Amino acid sequence: MWLQSVEDFLVLWGFPNCLGSIDGKHIKLKCPRRSGSAYFCYKNYFSIVLLAIVDPHYKFMVVDIGNYGRHSDSAIFENSAFYQQYIDNKTILPPRPLPGRDDPVPHVFVGDEGFALQTYLMRPYPKTGIINDTRRKKFNSQLSRARRVVENAFGILAMKWRVFLRAIETDAATADWIVKAACCLHNYIITKNNTKEYVDMETEEQDEPIRALLNTRPTNRRSNTAAFEVREKFADYFSSL
């Protein structure tokens, strides 16, 4: 199911070899009983994390729900069942050349600074390193364009299901089920209705997730040389357009 939209990213967002847009958001909770500081996040409230991979039609392809709010996106992703089944020491899809190129490049997800740069996951260049580098600026712009669908999906979710605008006053297990139900209903509504109204959205980010679903903490994990090389290949490609 989650691989059906691979070609759509190339057509709709101009980011070749992209498998999906990934991000994690905090879901506020009333302090769970006898939980100590497990659910306490750096935003100074209690939360669980909704980690999602989204397709170009703002549908959730993969979700991981219920991790402690103090955990980073990278840690949650790498401990997820999806990662262990499809990514860990595996090739999701065979590498293929970028349009007009001969050198095969891995298929990737696109994320923000909450994720470590990997051969299978692209994150933007640091802002301090692109001030005088138009090539890197163009890469960041293309990545942002592809990545914004996950931000918009969270915005649609929060505006449709108002429970996300305040702390959920249930135990953590029930909150997990509430979030799962909301994600399933979100996909059902988008499938049932005309998705074009969402695909045509041009806002960089929705206002709602900024207030309701907040970003997780950025990560400073070091990446390997292969990951940097993959990002450079994408940057070379976008700079030649």
Cα gap 22→26, rounded to integer Å: 14
Cα gap 20→23, rounded to integer Å: 10
> In the Cβ-directed half-sphere of 143, how many Cα atoms lie within 13 Å?
27
Please answer whether residues 149 and 206 qualify as being in contact, where contact means their C-beta atoms are separated by less than 8 angstroms: no
Instruction: With CA atoms as reference, report the closest residue to 134 among 232, 239, 233.
Output: 239
- Tell me the domain boundaries of the chain: 6-239
Please answer whether residues 164 and 154 qualify as being in contact, where contact means their C-beta atoms are separated by less than 8 angstroms: no
**Tens of pLDDT, residues 183-230:** 999 999 998 886 555 555 444 444 444 456 766 666 666 678 999 999
Cα gap 141→112, rounded to integer Å: 12
**Tens of pLDDT, residues 83-140:** 988 888 776 788 999 989 999 999 999 999 889 999 999 999 998 878 889 999 999 9
User: 226: which 2 tokens?
Assistant: 């292969």
- pTM across the whole model: 0.85
Please answer whether residues 151 and 138 qualify as being in contact, where contact means their C-beta atoms are separated by less than 8 angstroms: no
